[in-house]
Structure 1
Amino acid sequence: MMTDKVLDVRGLSCPLPVLRAKKTLDTLPPGTILTVIATDPGTRRDFESLCRQTGHTLLKASEDGELFTFILQRAG
């Protein structure tokens, strides 16, 4: 999947990963694809909630050991 921007929030704990992702999404044009790389296991729940509340789309969420990757599309 093609990504327009990557946000690396490894090492940050809740709520910082989702807050940084929201701030980044707010600066991007509608339809932009953002990939977020995180290490906090609570981020999956946080990103699902963010998308429900903001209208952004969670295109993919994956886990590889202690690494979590989220692909979001900005609403618009």
Structure 2
Amino acid sequence: MSAILYDLRGLKCPLPVLKTRRKMSSLPKGALIRVETTDPLAGIDIPHFCSEDGHELIEAEKTEAGHRFLIRKG
């Protein structure tokens, strides 16, 4: 299964988490989504969101412009 790319660059906290939560609610369990963001707080917020909502954070990496996350829906 390939990951859905979800580009949230340019959005500020709390929008990346809110939009990721909304997008993931429409995906089937086990779906992969790759989230890209420039929000500096996303490095804290997205892992916390995954933990709280029961999703698996497969990858979290710092990029030149922000962060990139690979999440499997729980």
Q: CA–CA distance in 2 between the matches of 1:3 and 1:51?
A: 19
Relative to the length of structure 1, the TM-score reads 0.90
Q: Does 1:40 align with 2:39?
A: yes
The worse-fitting range, judged by mean Cα deviation, of 26-35 and 60-69 is 60-69
After TM superposition, list the pairs within 5 Å mapping 1:46-57 onto structure 2: 46-57=45-56
Superposed displacement of residue 29, structure 1: 0.2
Unmatched 5+ stretches in structure 1: none
After TM superposition, list the pairs within 5 Å mapping 1:61-72 onto structure 2: 61-72=60-71
Q: What is the aligned length? A: 74
Matched to 1:36, the amino acid is: V
Matched to 1:45, the amino acid is: I
Corresponding residue number in structure 1 for 2:27 = 28
Measured against aligned partners, the alpha-carbon deviations of 1:27-53 in whole angstroms (never above 9, x if no partner) come to 000000000010011001111111111
RMSD between superposed Cα atoms in Å: 1.1
Unmatched 5+ stretches in structure 2: none
Aligned-pair identity (%): 34
